[in-house]
Amino acid sequence: MRAAMFLRLAWLMIAGLAMVEPVFAQDGSILTDLENQVASASQGWQDTVINAATSLFWILAGIEVGIAAIWLAIQAPSLDTWFAELVRRILFIGFFLFVLQQGPDLAKSVVDSLFQLGADGGSASPADVFNAGVKVASELSENARFGLWEDNALAMASVFAMIVVVICFALVAAIFVAVLVEMYVGLLAGMIMLGLGGSSFTKDFAVRYLVYAFSVGMKLMGLVMIARIGSEVLIGLSNNTASEDQFLTTLTIAGISVVVFMISMYVPNIIQGVVQGVSVGNGMEAIRSGGQVAGFAAAGAGMAAGGAGVVKGGMAAASAASQAGASRGAAAMAGLKAAGGAVGSAATDKLMGIPGAKMGSTLGLANEKLRQGNNPGTSSRSSNRKMDADS
C-alpha cells in the first residue's frame, strides 16, 4: 500500500515538473525584471545623493583652505611658499572634485568590466542561472520512469536529483540577485563618501569608495564565473545520463549542485574580503563554535564537580550529626543546612568582593567552606599562618 502511494506521488511530481517547466523558463525573466527595477530606482536617487555630496565637498574644501591659510599666516612664510601652498591645495581639491564628478561612472565602469570578464564575453544573469537548473532537471526527468520493468532506483535518484538541482540553482540565483542589489544600493549610498574628499583629513573615505566598487566588482566576477562553470558542468553531465552508470551520474549531479551552491555562498565574499583587506568566511566559524561548545561543556563539568563536592560535604555533615545521636530526620536537616549555608556564604563572599572569592566559582567556594567546617584544624592553622604573616 505504501509502495503504491509512493509511486503515485512520484508520478504526480514528475508530471508537475513537466507541466511547469515551460513556465519556469518564462518566469526566470522575473529575476531580470527585478534587477531592472532596482537599477531604475537607484538611478532616481543618484542626483539627490550627488547634490548632497557636492555640498559636503565644498564645505570641507572651504574649511581645508581656511585652515591652510591660518597656518601660513602663523608661520609668516615668503610669497613663494604662499604660491606653492595655493597650487598644492588647488591640485588636491581639483583631483577629488574630478573623483566626485566622475566617481559614480568610474565605479560602474569598473564593475561592468569585471562582470563581463567573469562572463567571458557572454551574458550572465540570475534568470540564466535559474533556467540552467530547470534545464538540468528537465534532462533528469527523462530517467524518472517508474514501473514493474523499469529501474525504480534510478527513477527515485532522478527525482531526488531534480529537486536538489532546482533548489540549489534557485538559491544561487537568489545570491546573484542579492549581489546585484548590493552593487546598486552600495554604490548609490556610497556616493556620499565622495563628498568627504574635500578635506585632507577625510579624503580616505573617498578612496575607500573606489576600493569598495572594485571589491564589489571582484565579488560579482567570482560569482558569475562560479555560476557559469557550474551550469556548464551540470548541463554536460545531464546530457550524458545515458551512460552505463546512470545512477552514479544522477547522484553526482545532485552533489555537484550542492557544491556549486556552497561555493557561491562563500567564495565571492572571500574575494571581496581580500580586496578590502579583511577576512570574511575563512572557515574558522566551525572551529570557534566548537570552542564555545567545549567551553560550555567545561563550565558545566566544573559546576557538576562543584555541586558533587557540596553534596558530599552535606552528606558528611549529616553523617556527623547521625553519629552524634541525632535522628535520621535531624541528621538530614543538618546536612541540608550545612550545604545550603555553605552555598549562601560563598555567594555572599563573591558579591562582597572578598579577596580570593572572585577567582573561583560559587560551588567551588562552598565546597571549600564545607571542608573547612569538617576539618576545623585546617581553618585554625590557616588563621594562625595568616596572623604570623601579619605580625
- Regarding whether 157 and 53 lie in a shared domain, the answer is yes
Q: What are phi and psi of 348, to 5 degrees?
A: -65, -40
- Regarding whether 232 and 88 lie in a shared domain, the answer is yes
Q: Is residue 250 part of a domain?
A: yes
Q: At how many degrees (to 10) do helices 126-140 and 29-75 cross?
A: 150
Q: What is the mean pLDDT of residues 301-323?
A: 46
Q: Is residue 140 part of a domain?
A: yes
Q: What is the mean pLDDT of residues 297-320?
A: 44
3-state secondary structure the chain: CHHHHHHHHHHHHHHHHHHHHHHHHHHCHHHHHHHHHHHHHHHHHHHHHHHHHHHHHHHHHHHHHHHHHHHHHHHCCCHHHHHHHHHHHHHHHHHHHHHHHHHHHHHHHHHHHHHHHHHCCCCCCHHHHHHHHHHHHHHHHHHCCCCCCCCHHHHHHHHHHHHHHHHHHHHHHHHHHHHHHHHHHHHHHCHHHHHHHHCCCCHHHHHHHHHHHHHHHHHHHHHHHHHHHHHHHHHHHHHCCCCCCHHHHHHHHHHHHHHHHHHHHHHHHHHHHHHHCCCCCCCCHHHHHHHHHHHHHHHHHHHHHHHHHHHHHHHHHHHHHHHCCCCHHHHHHHHHHHHHHHHHHHHHHHHHCCCCCCCCCHHHHHHHHHHHHHCHHHHHHHHHHHHHHHC
| Residues of the chain above pLDDT 90, percent | 3
pLDDT of residue 368: 57
Distance of CA 229 to the CA centre of its chain: 25
- Regarding whether 248 and 170 lie in a shared domain, the answer is yes
Q: Is residue 387 part of a domain?
A: no
- pLDDT tens figures, 370-390: 555 555 444 444 444 444 444
- Regarding whether 115 and 194 lie in a shared domain, the answer is yes
Q: Is residue 391 part of a domain?
A: no
**Mean pLDDT score of the chain:** 70
Confidence grade of residue 320 (pLDDT, cut at 50, 70, 90): low
Higher pLDDT residue, 23 or 151? 151
pLDDT of residue 245: 72
Higher pLDDT residue, 328 or 46? 46
Judged against a pLDDT cut of 50, whether residue 335 lies above it is answered with no
Q: Whole-model pTM?
A: 0.59
Judged against a pLDDT cut of 50, whether residue 302 lies above it is answered with no
- Regarding whether 338 and 226 lie in a shared domain, the answer is no
Q: Which residues lie below 8 Å from residue 387, measured CB to CB, with a gap of 6+?
A: none
- pLDDT tens figures, 161-191: 889 888 999 899 889 888 888 888 888 888 8
Higher pLDDT residue, 79 or 340? 79
Confidence grade of residue 351 (pLDDT, cut at 50, 70, 90): very low
pLDDT of residue 22: 43
Judged against a pLDDT cut of 70, whether residue 275 lies above it is answered with yes
* Grid-cell match 546573484, residue found: 176
Confidence grade of residue 3 (pLDDT, cut at 50, 70, 90): very low
- First-residue to last-residue Cα distance in the chain: 91
- Regarding whether 355 and 222 lie in a shared domain, the answer is no
* Grid-cell match 538540468, residue found: 136
Q: Is residue 182 part of a domain?
A: yes
- Regarding whether 52 and 35 lie in a shared domain, the answer is yes
Q: What is the mean pLDDT of residues 67-95?
A: 84
pLDDT of residue 21: 42
- Regarding whether 207 and 166 lie in a shared domain, the answer is yes
pLDDT of residue 321: 47
Q: Is residue 173 part of a domain?
A: yes
**Range of 310's domain?**
288-377
- Regarding whether 310 and 230 lie in a shared domain, the answer is no
Greatest mean pLDDT among 78-82, 289-293, 307-311 lies in: 78-82
- Regarding whether 298 and 257 lie in a shared domain, the answer is no
Q: Is residue 9 part of a domain?
A: yes
**Single residue among 282, 314, 347 that ends a domain in this structure:** 282
**Single residue among 282, 309, 325 that ends a domain in this structure:** 282
Rounded CA gap, 210 and 216, in Å? 10
Range of lowest pLDDT (7-21, 69-83, 197-211): 7-21
pLDDT of residue 391: 42
Judged against a pLDDT cut of 90, whether residue 246 lies above it is answered with no
pLDDT of residue 133: 84
- Regarding whether 328 and 227 lie in a shared domain, the answer is no
Judged against a pLDDT cut of 60, whether residue 312 lies above it is answered with no
Rounded CA gap, 320 and 323, in Å? 5
- Regarding whether 335 and 249 lie in a shared domain, the answer is no
| Residues of the chain above pLDDT 70, percent | 58
**Single residue among 282, 310, 337 that ends a domain in this structure:** 282
Confidence grade of residue 8 (pLDDT, cut at 50, 70, 90): very low
Q: What is the mean pLDDT of residues 19-43?
A: 60
Domain tally for the chain? 2
Q: Is residue 100 part of a domain?
A: yes
Range of lowest pLDDT (11-15, 205-209, 342-346): 11-15
Copy the grid coordinates of residue 319.
553523617
